[in-house]
Amino acid sequence: MFWAENAEEARRYITGIAEARGVHVVTKSKSMVAEEIQLTPAMEKIGIKVFETDLGEFIVQLRHEPPYHLVTPAMHLTRTDIAALFKEKLEGVDGDDPEQLVAAARRALRRAFFSSEMSITGANFLVADAGMVAITTNEGNAELGMNLSKIHLVLTGIEKIVPHLDDLAILWPVLATAGTGQPVTCYNTLVGGPRAPHETDGPDEFHVVLLDNGRSELLADVEQREVLNCIRCGACLNVCPIFRTVGGHTYGTTYQGPIGSVLTPHLRGLHEFQHLSYASSLCGACTDVCPVKIGLHHHLLHNRRNAVSAGERPWSERIGFKVWRWAMMGSRRFALLSRLALSALRLMYRCGAEGTRLDPLRAWTKARAAPDIPKHSFRHMWRRESAEK
């Protein structure tokens, strides 16, 4: 068991084991923590060939892309896209029949499984009282990898520890139902160590790497520690209007969607990732759907507050809010500000219509039409209507 304080420590430990044992081929099942520490590039750098064995991960690996979604990494691709990709990269693919495409991936991966010396998996849960690792997959790829390789290495975050074996009776079905709508996932495996002397299958060596990488700090934050309860089911991504519009790659992070926007500033720094808290309409759909009841949209607001308190927001926003506050303190002020804002908006539209290089709305109007400006303000219309009655 190895506790890695950060990504660098985890990478160093894992590549160290692989180098010391002369590993050339690694099979890997889906692990967002491996994405978080950028494990595959680190292994490739020392000449190790890494095969993603989850079908979705295998597809995005062939495209040299990061996963698009926590649970379904290739959901942005159509059957035709995948057929074209397999035709270019794999042998014996003709047409886009899903069964044939799966068979082609299986043929390619079987060769990898049989030549693999080391298998790397994630862990859905670590069960404290049983001292076991709980892994759930729909393809049986993690199980095949760990049984055919001499070394099995589990890489996971420290937040995955649950106290009792009985907890899986709730957590496994909850994860399956919230993640893919299944009552339970196809393969549910508990692993407690390497192959025992009387056993025929299993690895000779077994390692568990626990990654902290900012999680302990989050645990110390009483207000936001519940974010660590996430079981990575992906349900909050599926209902998020922002994720559904911009897609997973736009976030530029390992964890996408609402949970990614909440978590990433804690793991990778508020300075660089505070903007993600604004990738939300705060509709609360993510909070409603979360099976472990994380108040996601409240945490997005907490992150926004933290960004403001840390002076991370631009000066224009600070001045804007000061002016808005001043205006909201009296109706005359508000009327004055409305008139000024309307005049400013008209001026901006004129600059745009005349094609001036200084058009301040060009970033917006490049891809969409600007809405019409009404002739009169709401206050003006209200007064006129009231006078006419």
Q: Which is nearer to ligand SF4, 289 or 337 (CB)?
A: 289
Cα(166)–Cα(173) distance, integer angstroms: 12
Cα(280)–Cα(287) distance, integer angstroms: 12
Contact 207, 236 (CB under 8 A): no
> Residues 236, 267, 276, 348: which binds ligand SF4 (CB under 6 A)?
236
Kindly state the smallest distance separating residue 244's Cβ from ligand SF4, in Å: 14
Q: According to the binding rule CB under 6 A, does residue 327 interact with ligand SF4? A: no
Q: Which is nearer to ligand SF4, 296 or 300 (CB)?
A: 296
Contact 235, 212 (CB under 8 A): no
Q: Which stretch binds ligand SF4 (CB under 6 A): 77-85, 86-94, 286-294, 379-387?
A: 286-294
Q: Which two tokens stand for residue 207?
A: 């390692």
Q: According to the binding rule CB under 6 A, does residue 234 interact with ligand SF4? A: yes
Q: According to the binding rule CB under 6 A, does residue 267 interact with ligand SF4? A: no
Residue 328: Cβ within 10 Å count: 11
Positions 294 through 323 that interact with ligand SF4 (CB under 6 A): 294, 296
Q: Which stretch binds ligand SF4 (CB under 6 A): 51-59, 292-300, 321-329, 345-353?
A: 292-300
Q: Considering CB under 6 A, how many residues would be counted as binding ligand SF4?
A: 15
Secondary structure (DSSP) of 319-343: HHHHHHHHHHT-HHHHHHHHHHHHH
Positions 165 through 224 that interact with ligand SF4 (CB under 6 A): 178
Cα(175)–Cα(178) distance, integer angstroms: 5
Contact 201, 147 (CB under 8 A): yes
Kindly state the smallest distance separating residue 261's Cβ from ligand SF4, in Å: 10
Could you tell me where the beta strands, DSSP code E, fall in the chain? 2-4, 25-28, 49-52, 118-121, 125-127, 132-137, 151-157, 161-162, 187-191, 205-211
Kindly state the smallest distance separating residue 12's Cβ from ligand SF4, in Å: 29
Q: What is the dihedral of CA 248, 249, 254, 258, to 10 degrees?
A: -30
Q: According to the binding rule CB under 6 A, does residue 231 interact with ligand SF4? A: yes
Helix axes 315-328 and 331-353, enclosed angle (nearest 10)? 140
Q: According to the binding rule CB under 6 A, does residue 290 interact with ligand SF4? A: yes
Q: According to the binding rule CB under 6 A, does residue 228 interact with ligand SF4? A: no
Q: According to the binding rule CB under 6 A, does residue 235 interact with ligand SF4? A: yes
Q: According to the binding rule CB under 6 A, does residue 259 interact with ligand SF4? A: yes
Contacts of 153 (CB under 8 A, 6+ apart): 14, 17, 118, 119, 120, 121, 206, 207, 208, 209
Q: According to the binding rule CB under 6 A, does residue 265 interact with ligand SF4? A: no
> Residues 11, 28, 152, 232: which binds ligand SF4 (CB under 6 A)?
232
Kindly state the smallest distance separating residue 85's Cβ from ligand SF4, in Å: 27
Q: Return residues touching ligand SF4 (CB under 6 A).
A: 178, 230-236, 259, 289-292, 294, 296
